[in-house]
Amino acid sequence: MRNPRPAAVWVGVAAVLFGLQAGAVAQLLASGLADAVAALPGVAVPAGLAALERAADAIPTLLSRETIPNRGYYDGSGYVGTFLGLAPDVAWLLRAALIYAYSFVTLGWLWVGYERYRTHYRIADWTPRDDVIDRFRGHRWGLFGVAVVVMFLVMVAFAPALSPTTTAANLENPYSHEITYWTGSGTETVTVGQANLGSGSQGTPQENVGPMQYDDFGRFHPFGTLPGGKDLFTFIAHGSRISLVIGLVSVGLSVTVAIVLALLSAYYKGKVDLGAVLVSDAVLGMPQLLLLIMLSVILSGTWIGKIYSGAFVLALIFAGTGWPAMWRSFRGPALQVSNREWVDAAKSFGQTPTTIMRKHMLPYITGYVLVYGSMTLGGAIIAIAGLSFLGLGVNPPTPEWGRAVNAGQEYVTTASWHISLIPGVLITLVVTGFNALGDGVRDAIDPESDAEEAGGASGRGGGA
Amino acid sequence: MNRLKYILKRVLMAVPVLWLGTSMTWFIIYQGPVDPAANLLSGSERLTETKYEAARTELGLDQPPLQHYVDWMWSLFTLDLGQTWLIYPGSSVGALVLDFLPRTVWLGFWSVLIAVCVGIPLGFYAGIRSNTVADYIASVSGIVWRAMPNFWLAVILLAVLVGSESLLGFDWDSFLIRLPTGVTGNPGLSYMAGDPLALFTQPRDTLAAIKKVLPAAVVLGSASMGNEMRIGRTAVLEAKNEQYVEFARARGVSGRAIVWKHVFRNALVPLVPVITTEAFLLIGGSVLVESVFGINGMGKLFFDAAIQGDLPLVGSLMFVFIVLLLSINLAQDVLYTLIDPRVGYEGT
């Protein structure tokens, strides 16, 4: 390395940025591992894992509920327990703003790192990929998509730190947690469950806690409360996790199947292609949402249906019903590349079919994976929300956006309009963001392409 | 002759697809982890051996699986759809479908029509005035419209219409034509029973039925509308830059004639498959929309059957849906060869 300075500066700043949140990363990994083990049937979580989780919790993090607490109570003269004695809403806003600022700074710094690599260290002055990236940078609609998707991902990653309260206290076991509040003349302590009973949004102005309001127990609700008094923001932030996990797992699986099949059918053509066409047409011939409903009813009682509150089986079903549409989108480009000279050359060179497919065909279609993957992810989010709106899919009490829409169905035109409206607007926004990202990537990879025609239905989650 | 050959090929392709789809349905329902016979009995009945055995015999489950599969497939392909157990118990599925299908068809027809009548003109308009403010507004609203979940849109629209008097300043129920049963419920189609011409001879009833189904149709067509808009816009943009358009312009053909005769006609071609592909979305979406608006159509029937565990009914309905989708696809292929004669020769 001729000039180590830019790299050293970059690594130094990156280390500081990571150090601020190292605890959160460790926590996320440890809890993810524990969840994965707990999801396996018939396996108890080993003590070592629990200890690991506690150790990860003990690492201090800057942007956490503990460092910037928003939960506190008014004792007549000032707030007790909140960050610097600020009002709970200000403390929460500060924390949320810091989390988003941190995320965007980190992302920007990664970009700086890439540019430094490009200017100082990469041997080639120019690669074809540079053009793709430059085109994407000039694509405003795609950048909007990136911004929305990043905001959604930050919400997923920082769900516990962003929420004004915890899932354990507010959603799962409200009766084993207590809060203190100011009654007007003194402080009193009640369980969260009792407080929830008095702070539900039931449609009338008296019984409603709207967005950015306090309830009678001095608790701040950024998105208001559910009819049962639970905090809607906590519900949505944690619900975003399950939506993304299902979406990623299902899209990952269906992309894998679709790519393998596309490569095989493009390489061998003829009977293999015909067989794939028949099977995919048969799956496509059954309306996806109906197939989802049928399978989630049938598989709900089995052990696989209980993993991760039923989300895992949903992801599997989604992958099983989603690959044909994706395969159809990959088939065209794969067929195109299989007719190129370099594939013929490789064949006459004596390379094995697997090598040809992997080395000479796969790179050509990977770009499309991002395009269709991103659009299908949006569709998966809609479909999962639609299923839980109908009462299928993800089991309560695990939060899911569609269930919030369902809960607020009766209150849309009342004072408690926020229950249905906010999750719906968020779904629309997130899906638009994923679609915009897909559009941007498509235009960046291949400005001439008209891939949207084929992808039209895939971004819609079977009509939910 | 080539066109005929192409269509024949599509029909032949549909046969294995139908067979595969139906077989998968049979496998999921009868070989899955849920015992369809036990599911049909109530809690106490499940304990009595005789009732359970009777239910098994009735469903043919006492036969070996292969025999059952052949019997089941045979009865479906001869259009014997069996009977219901838990939903409207004891009635024949065929009669039930005939009773429920018209509502869904009525809903689907209007949702396609609304989407086509709004989406395509808007897309063409945006394409002709590309990169103006009007284009940006139309495009962005089309994209957002497409991303909105049907079930949410249905919930919001229903609530707004129910409270239309205070929110919009007019009462939807008595707007133009009085709907005595409110916003939700079945469209009254019975006046057409046995006399399809009543659609035209009794315009009042027709209008009432349209109005009843209109909100649901708008919601169901929303995604398609956004899609058609987007694709209509691209199609016009592409057709605008074709050489024949430039040639026509060079020959002095008026702008109006170019747009109507050369741009629009060719821009319509890519829209045909889009409209029919949306049949998939319509059938899936009908479950949610019919549930929210309380329309007793096929989607709601399927959902109720699935929720209550009437698995034999679920299987028969799935078969009906598969047949429906395949026929729509075939109709699309035929239509496509008529509009764009090149299609049959590409060996697709």
3-state secondary structure of A416: coil
Q: A302 or A263, which is more confident? A: A263
> Residues A394-419: pLDDT tens digits?
887 788 899 999 988 888 888 888 89
Chain B interface test: which of A148, A277, A281 (most B C-beta within 10 Å): A281
Question: Cβ separation of B306 and A413 shorter than 8 Å?
Answer: no
Among all residues of chain B, which has the CA nearest to that of A273? B348
Averaged pLDDT, B315-333: 87
Compare CB distances from A290 to B18, B24, B302 and report the shortest one's residue: B302
Query: What is the rounded distance in angstroms from the CA atom of residue B237 to the CA atom of residue B131?
Result: 11
Question: What pLDDT score does B43 carry?
Answer: 60
Q: Shortest CA distance to A38 belongs to which of A330, A222, A306?
A: A306
Q: How confident is the model at residue A423 (pLDDT cuts 50, 70, 90)?
A: very high
Domains belonging to chain A, first-starting first, are 5-135 (no CATH), 167-230 (no CATH), 233-460 (1.10.3720.10)
Helix (H), strand (E) at residue B51: helix B49-59
Shortest Cα–Cα distance, A151 to chain B (Å): 17
Q: Which pair of tokens denotes residue A96?
A: 């949320």
pLDDT exceeding 70 applies to what percent of chain A? 94
Cβ–Cβ contacts within 10 Å for residue A328, how many?
21
Tell me what the pLDDT averaged over chain A comes to.
84
pLDDT at A305 > cutoff 80:
no
Question: Cβ separation of B28 and A294 shorter than 8 Å?
Answer: yes
Compare CB distances from A302 to B33, B156, B309 and report the shortest one's residue: B33
Averaged pLDDT, B3-18: 85
Averaged pLDDT, B17-33: 88
User: What would the DSSP string read from start to end of A207-234?
Assistant: T---TTEE-TTS-EETT-B-TTS-BHHH
Helix (H), strand (E) at residue A383: helix A362-389
Most confident of A58-62, A205-209, A382-386, A445-449: A382-386
Q: What ranges do the domains of chain B cover?
A: 1-80+312-348, 93-309
CATH homologous superfamily of B93-309 equals: MetI-like (1.10.3720.10)
3-state secondary structure of B91: coil
Chain B interface test: which of A329, A453, A458 (most B C-beta within 10 Å): A453
Calculate the alpha carbon distances from A441 to A142, A359, B89, B142 in Å: 7, 22, 53, 20
Question: What pLDDT score does A143 carry?
Answer: 93
Q: Which pair of tokens denotes residue A336?
A: 């195109």
Rounded to two decimals, the pTM is: 0.87
pLDDT at A451 > cutoff 60:
no
Residues of chain A positioned with their CB less than 8 A from the CB of B281:
457, 460, 462-463
E runs forming strands in A161-218:
178-182, 187-191, 213-214
Question: Cβ separation of B149 and A386 shorter than 8 Å?
Answer: yes
Q: How confident is the model at residue A82 (pLDDT cuts 50, 70, 90)?
A: confident
> Residues B232-257: pLDDT tens digits?
888 888 888 888 888 888 888 887 88
Question: What pLDDT score does A110 carry?
Answer: 94
Is residue A252 exposed (0-12), middle (13-18) or buried (19+ Cβ within 10 Å)?
Answer: middle
Asked if the C-beta of B61 comes within 8 angstroms of chain A's C-beta atoms, the answer is: no
Q: A371 or B190, which is more confident? A: A371
Averaged pLDDT, B98-110: 88
> Residues A100-145: pLDDT tens digits?
999 999 999 999 999 999 888 888 888 888 888 888 888 888 999 9
pLDDT at B270 > cutoff 70:
yes
Residues of chain B positioned with their CB less than 8 A from the CB of A385:
149, 151-152
Interface confidence: ipTM more than 0.95: no
Residues 227-246 of B with CB under 8 A from A: 227, 230-231, 234, 238
